[in-house]
Amino acid sequence: MRRLNIDLVLIIAVVSGALARMPASAQPTPAAGQNLPFEKLVVPTTLAWSVLPPSIDPVMGTDGRIHLAYEMLFTNTVKLLFPNTTNSAVRVDSVEVVDPAHDNKIVGINHVFGPKNEDLTAQFYSLAKPSTCLCADDYSHKLGPGESAVMYFDVTFKDFSSVPGEIAHRVSTSAAVTDKKPGPAAEEPRIVENPIPPRIVAIGGAVKIETTRAITLSPPLRGDGWVDGNGCCAIVGAHRFTIIPGSGSLYTPQRFAIDFLRIDAQGRAWVGKVTNVTDWRGFGAEVRSAARGRVVSAVDGYSDNIPGEEPKNITPANIAGNHVIVDLGNGTFALYAHLKKGSVIPERGEFVSRGQLLGFVGNSGNSGAPHLHFEIMAGPSSLEVNGLPFVFDKMQYQGAVTGAWQQFLDDLFAGRPVQVDSARSGMRMGQMPLTLDVMSYM
Ligand SMILES: [Zn+2]
């Protein structure tokens, strides 16, 4: 044990020494092959950060921009630098997305928003604090000692040619709270009064961008008024928000998933009684296979929930309700979830063609209103899997619901007509609907 302690002290001494010599703003990571002294290669940071997905899949949205949607995990590492200083919070001042192959120049435009259009860019969603609303109250620029947090990104580019092959993240931090009180007595005093430098800038969290394009599908629905009520990319809603810890890893199955809800020409999702499932415009609409493939899961028998009521007794087994999963080949699977009870047509093992009828839109499983939950996954499970982006071969873009995402949901259940901005309407090919888009499919 004694030997271990000595080694630890040595490491701390080296790192602390490096901190003392470090300028307020540390040098960027030198290019590979440059022969620099050891200490210049080390930038001790009070945060550690890494990108959650192993690589990032770019996709073109209906705004005509290429989206890199992903998440990063941050941890406050102050204790590793200063073992007796455990109550030092760190503040993130900025996070820039850079291209390591081109002198770490800033690339793309990163913006994410909350349910009420709050700007959540470069803010932490803490894994240590209780969350209340998924809104701005659940996010902050500060990370407490030992605390981990998720940060959401939607970095956009004007075209595929301007997307780099790799990106990294230049993170600027400062000491949010200074620990003035020394920790418990150490064997040897090695704590300075104000250990965290006023500002640390370092580059890390490099990740490769995939060069393969998103899979092209046919829309799984027909007709007009289909709102992407919950999808990608800039709005961190219920899908983008979801990170699932499973078998010791973190998964983001719904990063690109879409909840399709249908509105009528007046912008209403239901007419009559909100709790009558058949009064919802989307209920009972045909769901068709978006591509050819083999059915690996076909589940039916779950009742349709009463709209507007919280679904009860939801488990990992029944979360998708009545559903079909189709193996599209090349490690991609399509999920059609929350289908109407008794409507699932194909059987497990059956091959389905593009456009083949699979069932009808319902409200089963973890669903509070009739809609189709559609996603492309890198495995046959809807939970322990990463979601993949997709584009539709052809669709009519009707416009986008105006106002914030939360307002849309409130209006939807209240039966109030939603407003659609149709200024950019027109035929679209090879694009992915974004949250609040309204589409017509033929
Ligand atoms: Zn969904």
CA of 373 to the centre of ligand 1 (A): 4
CATH of the domain spanning 215-441: 2.70.70.10
Q: What is the DSSP letter of 280?
A: B
189 pLDDT higher than 50: no
Mean of the per-residue pLDDT values for the chain? 88
pTM for the model: 0.88
Q: Is 406:418 a contact under the CB 8 Å cutoff?
A: no
Lowest mean pLDDT, pick from 16-30, 61-75, 118-132, 170-184: 16-30
Q: Is 177:141 a contact under the CB 8 Å cutoff?
A: no
CA of 375 to the centre of ligand 1 (A): 8
How does pLDDT run across 197-248, given as a tens digit for each residue? 778 999 999 999 999 999 999 999 999 999 999 999 999 999 999 999 999 9
414 pLDDT higher than 90: yes
Q: What percent of the chain has pLDDT over 70?
A: 85
- Count of C-beta atoms within a 10 Å radius of residue 294: 16
Can you name the residues that pair with 375 across neighbouring β-strands?
335
CA of 159 to the centre of ligand 1 (A): 29
CA of 370 to the centre of ligand 1 (A): 11
pLDDT band at residue 353 under the 50/70/90 scheme:
very high
- The structural domains of the chain, with segments of one domain joined by +, span 2-209, 215-441
Burial of 254 (0-12, 13-18, 19+ CB in 10 A): buried
AA identity, residue 315? T
CA of 238 to the centre of ligand 1 (A): 8
Instruction: Check residue 81 and give its pLDDT.
Output: 84
- Helix, strand, coil % over all residues of the chain, rounded to 5: 10, 35, 50
CA of 314 to the centre of ligand 1 (A): 14
